Amino acid sequence: MIIDCHAHLDERALSIEDQIKKMDEEGIEKTALIARITETLEPDKSEFLLGVQRQMMNSNILRKIASLVSLTFYDSKGVLRPIWSYFTDDKKGYTKTIIPDNQSVASALEKFPERFLGWIFINPKVHSSPEDEIEKWRNTKGMIGIKVHPYWHQFPLRDLESTARRSEELNLPLLIHMGFGDQGDFKWLVETFPHLKIIFAHAGLPYYKSIWPLIQRHKYAYVDLSSAHLSENFTKKVVSILGADKCLFGTDSPYGITGEDGKYDYGHIKGWVDRLNISEEDREKILGKNFEEIIENSFS
Ligand SMILES: [Zn+2]
């Protein structure tokens, strides 16, 4: 079974019916959805910019510069500062979603239970009791884990203490997109919660090769291969270093990779995995088998 382990539900960019059509075209049976991350639609970044970013994050020195620049992007309300709006497509900028709309994902699961799984999106800055938010959704059929985004929502990893503890207790995997500095204290996370299954989004962005040795060592750590932040060559490198057992297919749909129809190109990242020079057994692991094993006990 092919499963996309990391996608967003953002019907302004891709309706759920169109998404199912695209999944069918690529033979993708299920997609694990996360609530949308912007109030206004996020403009695409250019290939060039993404390539520069990737190089920077893979270097310990340049990552510090990227970290400082990233602090200037948004104001405290999550609105992109005017200077940066100039670099977005329509120059209007955009606004982050601060309160994750978990209801939207629950509704999609009810409507298409055969095609979708769901992540409960926690922001400790607005969910004063993450345990309550997890409790509210975890019995919705198809909810399989917890998503957190310390970079986007700007909080130190240690603010995830109660979220991570509850995830570990319930055996729900944690999908995390880290930020810089204390927003990326991955050592603390794996050492404090040794039995928590952790999927580091986008191959460990923004740490990449600096976090890979830890992922190799830690039994319950994985990466997803989602997003235009990666490239075909970079994906080859990640899989050859970490091995197929540690890598999960994901897209980050509908953000980042636009096809000829102006909508998300669902086959793009799958093409990277299809063309990897690995055994069919390993390909099956990356495309779904690993993820199926991770979420085995989380089906409610
Ligand atoms: Zn994402």
What confidence tens digit (pLDDT) does each residue in 99-146 have? 999 999 999 999 999 999 999 999 999 999 999 999 999 999 999 999
Domain assignment of residue 79, yes or no: no
**Given this model, what pLDDT does residue 300 score?**
47
| Cα 219 to Cα 237: distance, rounded to the nearest angstrom | 20
Q: How far is the CA of 207 from the centre of ligand 1 (A)?
A: 16
| Residue 124 maps to a domain | yes
pLDDT for the residue numbered 43: 59
In the chain, how many domains are there? 1
What is 231-273 written as a DSSP string?
-HHHHHHHHHHH-GGGEE----TTSS-B-TTSSB-TTHHHHHH
Indicate whether 77 belongs to any domain: no
Higher pLDDT, residue 211 or 56: 211
Structure tokens at 252: 């980050």
Q: Does residue 273 fall inside a structural domain?
A: yes
How far is the centre of ligand 1, averaged over its atoms, from the C-alpha of 34 (Å)? 7
Decide if pLDDT at 85 tops 70: no
What CATH code is carried by the domain that includes residue 166?
A: 3.20.20.140
Q: Is residue 237 one of the residues assigned to a domain?
A: yes
Binned at pLDDT 50, 70 and 90, residue 55 comes out as: confident
pLDDT at 62: 79
User: Cα of 177 to ligand 1 centre, how many Å?
Assistant: 8
What is the 7 CA–ligand 1 centroid distance (Å)?
Answer: 6
Which pLDDT score, from 0 to 100, does residue 259 have?
87
247 part of a folded domain:
yes
Mean pLDDT, residues 228-245 taken together = 95
Ligand 1 centre distance from Cα of residue 6 (Å): 6
Q: How far is the CA of 205 from the centre of ligand 1 (A)?
A: 11
Q: What is the pLDDT of residue 67?
A: 79
Residue 73, in any domain of the structure: no
C-beta separation of 219 from 294 below 8 A: no
- Rg of the chain in Å (alpha carbons): 18
Structure token pair of residue 150 = 């310390």
Q: Looking at the DSSP assignment, which residues form a beta bridge with residue 225?
A: none
Is position 178 within any domain? yes
Inform me whether the pLDDT recorded for 224 exceeds 70.
yes
Cβ proximity of 27 and 53 under 8 Å: no
CA 43 to ligand 1 centroid distance, Å: 14
Domain that holds residue 130: 3-45+97-295
pLDDT digits (tens, 9 = 90+) for 149-183: 999 999 999 999 999 999 999 999 999 999 999 99
Q: How far is the CA of 38 from the centre of ligand 1 (A)?
A: 11
Q: What is the predicted pLDDT for the residue at 75? A: 78
Neighbours of ion ligand 1 (CB under 5 A): 252
**pLDDT average, residue stretch 12-28:** 95
- Which DSSP symbol is given to 180? S
Q: Is the pLDDT of residue 283 over 90?
A: yes
